Chains A and B, each alone.
Chain A
Amino acid sequence: MKTFEELDIRKDLSYAKTHEWAKMTGNLVRVGVDDYAQSALGDIVYVELPSVGTAANAGAAFGSLESTKAVSDLNSPVTGKIVAVNDALSDSPELVNASPYEDGWLVDIEVPDSKEFDALLKSDAYSEFVKTLDDEHS
């Protein structure tokens, strides 16, 4: 697992405390897991994603990531409708490890407004939060 110093926490993204990142473009929120989550889980072997058209609820699970040592729920940072899922992950779950912010994205969620998105942690606050976890761990 990476140390805090080694982690790549992107400035241009918003975050949930459950380690999902979110990026809003128009009325679409793209969601993935961050470098902390992928590094904590280790080699991801399977990604369970919802089908397009299902509802996503903020704070509720919409899928899961499975590594050789754990299965971890994926929580939606916003409420809306799933309009796209990253199909490449069904054959190549390792993309979540290799490229959590680009090729390893998970779903796109269509949202009515930006209220929930705006309430997510910005990268500075999230970095602080992750640092406290890192301290506890060592």
Chain B
Amino acid sequence: MRYLSHTPDDLREMMEVIGIERVEELFDSIPKNARRDSEIAIEPRSEWRLLREFEEMAQANRTGTAFIGAGSYSHHVPAHIPYLASRSEFITSYTPYQPEVSQGTLQAIFEFQTLTGSLLGMEIANASMYDGASALAEAALMAIRVKKKPKIALSRLNHPHYIQVLNTYFKPTDFETAELGALPDGRTDYGKIPEDVSAVIVQSPNFMGVVEDLAAAAEAAHAKGALLVVSFTEAMAWGLLKNPGSQGADIVCGEGKSFGIPQNFGGPGVGMLACKKDFVRTIPGRLVGQTVDKNGERSFVLTLAAREQHIRREKAVSNICTNSGHNALTAAMYMATAGKEGLREIAQINHDKAAYLKAGLERAGFKPLFDAPFFNEFALTAPAEFEKRRGELAEKGFAAGLKLDAFPEYKEYKDAYLFCATEVHTRDVLDAFLESLKFLKEVA
């Protein structure tokens, strides 16, 4: 086996040092009633055969051209990013417990915290959460720790999967959620926030792609003595939109996968979690801090570890340990590569492409579900013929939107679809897709 290097001589010498004659003796402490009695029934593969099997599975997927976002967005990954991120010193290291041999990871995460804080307009950010959904659940728990009221108000226009994850985290607790409904224009209704909530949680752009009025959300939340928690699934939006911090958000959480991380069938992504400085002792997850070493050199360490699970045990602020460190590093690389000007330009082009697609679909007979500003995603009601012939579009390689009423949460949006376009959709592709819809006109 190529991953194991002991020769028969090595084995003999080692067993002699240990004082055994057969390796099996080392397992004598496993009693019969815990032993397995058969060998592992998995056949080992050679490297080439393994690759052939995996290529077959990969080819059984059809990636096509997806006009779908809904929490996972097609963005170009610059060539140097996977190249750099795959350096083995980054990939094959553990959590940076020993700062002297992990300054690379530590500085990179400090930079990620800084760039994330900048992007979101927040004072501090942590070293990352698993993904956007768990970041939202942890943000809700954090808000309850801060405000000590066991209830939160949750916009129903948050990503339905994120709401499901939050419900999973809440299930064994006494914590409650109050749903905030949608206004006819596709924004959250802040008019009916209950009195006794720790937080108002709203996603922007929301699941329907609509840009929320966060300043109004902040005002409404703060008027009730609650925190405003802003979630997001499309980090790219903050290249163009006013950031949540500048509009009064207290905690911001979301998914950073748009920054240089492949779609990977949805995971792993990178959860971003940022907040006001005052909440630093209640924020879950790892934090990297700047300090100086014995010689006065600037250096970085994991800090405030006493909040964490391995020290505070059952009183810890969270149980998170391993997070998404390597994807955080990748996201920081992307933010640094795009920079201030580049991110703005790419974000603007995302909006431009989406606007172009939306206009084209409207010409083809689709009707906007909402009359509200959007970033790169929007919901439209389709002409009757569309659903019948969506299969043909799939044959042509187009994933033509996401059917909203397929979600139990959104049954009322009958015949409506969520579409997305980003910088990777060239005009040729957009035009070809719109051209493929011309059957709608023929029917009409």
Contacts and interface: CB of A to CB of B under 8 A. Distances in A.
Whether the complex brings A and B within 8 Å at their CB atoms is answered yes
Interface string B285-308: 000000000000000000001110
A126 interface: no
B281 interface: yes
Interface in A49-73: 66-71
Interface in A65-111: 66-71
B57 interface: no
B312 interface: yes
A112 B411 CA distance: 63
B281 A69 contact: no
A48 B281 CA distance: 10
Nearest to B280: A46
A69 B313 CA distance: 12
A136 to B, nearest CB: 21
Chain B interface size, as a band, is under 10
A4 B220 CA distance: 57
B32 interface: no
Nearest to A65: B306
* SS of A interface (majority): strand
A133 B160 CA distance: 54
B315 interface: yes
A71 B307 contact: yes
A69 B315 CA distance: 14
B311 interface: yes
Contacts of A48: 281
Interface string A14-36: 00000000000000000000000
A46 B305 CA distance: 12
A68 B301 CA distance: 12
Contacts of A46: 281
A48 B315 CA distance: 15
Nearest to B308: A71
A64 to B, nearest CB: 9
Contact of A67 (B281, B306, B307, B315): B306
Of the listed residues B305, B307, B311, B315, the one surrounded by the most CB atoms of chain A closer than 10 A to its CB is B311
Contacts of B281: 46, 48, 66
A50 to B, nearest CB: 14
Interface in B293-336: 305-307, 311-312, 315
B305 A71 contact: no
Interface string B174-214: 00000000000000000000000000000000000000000
Nearest to B303: A68
A54 B144 CA distance: 21
A72 B311 CA distance: 11
Contacts of A69: 306, 311
Given A46-B281, A48-B281, A66-B281, 6 more contacts: A45-B306, A68-B305, A69-B306, A70-B306, A70-B311, A71-B312
10 A-B pairs with least C-beta separation = A71-B306, A66-B306, A71-B312, A70-B306, A70-B311, A69-B311, A68-B306, A67-B306, A69-B306, A68-B305
Interface of B: 281, 305-307, 311-312, 315
